Amino acid sequence: MDILNTMVSCGHEQVAMYSDPESGLRGIIAIHDTTLGPSCGGTRMWPYATESDALADALRLSQAMTYKSAAAGLNLGGGKGVIIGDPRTDKTEALLRAWGRFVDTLGGRYLTTTDVGTTGRDLESVRQETRHVVGLDVTLGGSGDTSLMTGLGIYMGMRAGAAGVWGADSLRGRTVAMQGFGKVAGHTAEHLLADDAHVIAADISEAALDRARAMGVKVVGADDIYDVKCDIFAPCALGGVINSDTINRLRCRIVAGGANNQLATPEDGEELHRRGIIYAPDFLINAGGVINAAAEIGQPYNPERSRQQTERIYEQMSAVLTTSRKQEISTSRAANLLAETRLDSVRRMRQIWRG
Ligand code: NAD
């Protein structure tokens, strides 16, 4: 990969690489944009086939974090850390502490938290070597599990989407088809069921399906979920699931879920728009987790503040729908515009003050 050219074309500020042969750590931190504040994003540990794959993931995910925090109104930029390795076999205390040392070298330009392959317990080791960690367990004064607020934010996004499509934001009697029934989907489903919505779920894990059944959720086969006739399709497992194959199968009016990077390509967002399916942009409605973690920064964690900020996702989604309607653009473009407008306005303000 032509690293500097890629950074220039996507607007990345910094990419740092680190190797610690003693612990076996090989990691990358990508900082996309710090206009709004220090970059923040989780540490992903994954057995990437190549270094290029790891770098590409760090670049892509850090950029998405800039948009997520900007749209959520947070004073944070976008960053992401990736560790090359298998979290089941390669993760040791020494490796995690070496990662903490690496994070610390950036002097607070990057704040880390959990992501795929890392847990709250891992953060406790990272925290031994750096203060630049958020999302610690509540017993350590942190904000704890992010999925609770992520689930709330998705529910708020669904309600705003419902208001846009049906003129009322109640989800009572609506059918929501959830792909994946893990932590985020489970918390979203609690709100939906409390509203008397019907929830249908698919998962590849029997334990997840058992949890769904215990909550009164109907279960279907993992590949059948795309064909379920529903009001809202909620991708809550994997990225790239909205693509030219699956769009033809969807039988919903709204796509709104927790998974990151749901659109395989930007064109898929345009195609949903052409078909009259409202897409609730993933980075906009799944921001509850980063909102919750950010509530730890600079003040004692207050769950009520975090909840109130997460509930504002309703207003943000409504604003995206209004822009989409007025400017006749897709909701994914409208959400990008929302984030870019905030970033540009803060950049301009700084330029004016610099003279
Ligand atoms: P999780 O691991 O608890 O749940 C994911 C579920 O998806 C699991 O039950 C898994 O078995 C299932 N799954 C995997 N492949 C599947 C497939 N092909 N079909 C159906 N089910 C499948 O993870 P989570 O924390 O609930 O996160 C879900 C998604 O939301 C992820 O994409 C994550 O990146 C994203 N996200 C999570 C948070 C958070 O706060 N946890 C925040 C933002 C975004």
Q: What is the pLDDT of residues 107-138, one digit of tens each?
A: 999 999 999 899 999 999 999 999 999 999 88
Q: Last residue of some domain: 133, 158, 173?
A: 133
Return the ∠ at Cα 201 (arms to 258 and 193), rounded to 5°: 80
Q: Is 33 domain-assigned?
A: yes
**pLDDT for residue 271:** 98
CA of 180 to the centre of ligand 1 (A): 6
Residues 158 and 125 in one domain: no
Residues 93 and 153 both lie in one domain? no
Is the residue at 345 inside a domain? no
pLDDT at 353 (0 to 100): 84
Residue 199 Cα to chain centre, angstroms: 22
Does the beta carbon of 150 sit less than 6 angstroms from any atom of ligand 1? yes
- The CATH number that applies at residue 161 is 3.40.50.720
Q: Which atom of ligand 1 is nearest to the CA of 146?
A: 40
pLDDT tens-digit profile of 288-319? 999 999 999 988 899 999 999 999 999 999 99
Tell me the residue range of the domain where 316 lies: 147-288+299-304+312-340
The 10s digit of each residue's pLDDT in 84-111 is: 999 999 999 999 999 999 999 999 999 9
Beta strand 218-219 with 77-84 is unpaired
Residue 284 lies in a domain: yes
Cα three-residue angle 262-267-273, rounded to 5 degrees: 85
* pTM for this entry: 0.93
| 18 and 101 part of one domain | yes
Check whether residue 116 and residue 164 sit in a common domain: no
Judge if the beta carbon of residue 201 lies within 6 A of ligand 1.
no
State whether 258 and 202 are in the same domain: yes
Q: Is residue 350 part of a domain?
A: no
Residues 13-62: tens digit of each pLDDT: 999 999 999 999 999 999 999 999 999 999 999 999 999 999 999 999 99
The Cα angle at residue 146 between residues 144 and 148, in degrees rounded to 5: 105
**Residue 218 bears catalytic tag:** no
Q: Evaluate: CB of 205 within 6 angstroms of ligand 1.
A: yes
pLDDT of res. 325: 97
CA of 181 to the centre of ligand 1 (A): 7
Q: Are residues 23 and 171 in the same domain?
A: no
Which of 80, 183, 229, 326 is catalytic? The answer is 80
Pick the last residue of a domain from 103, 133, 163: 133
Look over the chain and give the mean of its residue pLDDT values, rounded to a whole number. Answer: 96
Whole-number Å distance, alpha carbon 326 to ligand 1 midpoint, is 34
DSSP 7-36: HHHHT--EEEEEEETTTTEEEEEEEEE-SS
Residue 294 is assigned to a structural domain of this protein: no
In the prediction, which pLDDT does 294 show?
93
Q: How confident is the model at residue 354 (pLDDT cuts 50, 70, 90)?
A: confident
Name the closest-CA residue to atom 35, ligand 1.
259
pLDDT confidence bin for 207, thresholds 50/70/90? very high
How many A from CA of 141 to the centre of ligand 1? 26
Instruction: Note whether 270 and 325 are same-domain residues.
Output: yes
H-type alpha helices, the chain = 3-10, 51-71, 93-105, 120-127, 147-166, 183-194, 206-214, 266-274, 282-285, 288-294, 303-311, 313-327, 331-354
**Domain-located, residue 280:** yes
Handedness of CA 275, 66, 32, 41 (dihedral sign): negative
Do residues 20 and 91 both lie within one domain? yes
* Percentage above 90 pLDDT, the chain: 92
Report the pLDDT value the prediction gives residue 312, as an integer from 0 to 100.
97
Beta bridge partners of 199: 176
Q: What is the pLDDT of residue 351?
A: 86
Q: How confident is the model at residue 227 (pLDDT cuts 50, 70, 90)?
A: very high
Q: What is the pLDDT of residue 299?
A: 86
Q: Are residues 213 and 166 in the same domain?
A: yes
Q: How many domains does the chain have?
A: 2
179 and 74 fall within a common domain: no
Ligand 1 pocket, mutate which of 68, 203, 263 (most atoms under 8 A from CB)? 203
Predicted confidence band of residue 1 (pLDDT cuts 50, 70, 90):
confident
Ligand 1, atom 27, lies closest to the CA of 184
φ, ψ dihedrals at 219, nearest 5°:
-120, 140
For residue 209, being part of any structural domain is answered with: yes
Among candidates 117, 121, 182, which has minimal Cα distance to 154? 182
pLDDT of residue 164: 97
Give the model's confidence band at 350: pLDDT under 50 very low, under 70 low, under 90 confident, else very high: confident
Is the domain of 111 the same as that of 161? no
Q: Is the pLDDT of residue 355 over 80?
A: no
Same domain? 128 vs 158: no
Final residue of a structural domain among 133, 165, 195: 133
Confidence of residue 140 (pLDDT cuts 50, 70, 90): confident
Check which CATH number belongs to the domain holding 30 and give it: 3.40.50.10860
Which two three-digit tokens encode residue 114? 């959990």
Atom 23 (ligand 1) nearest CA: 182
Domain-located, residue 293: no
Average pLDDT for 259-280: 96
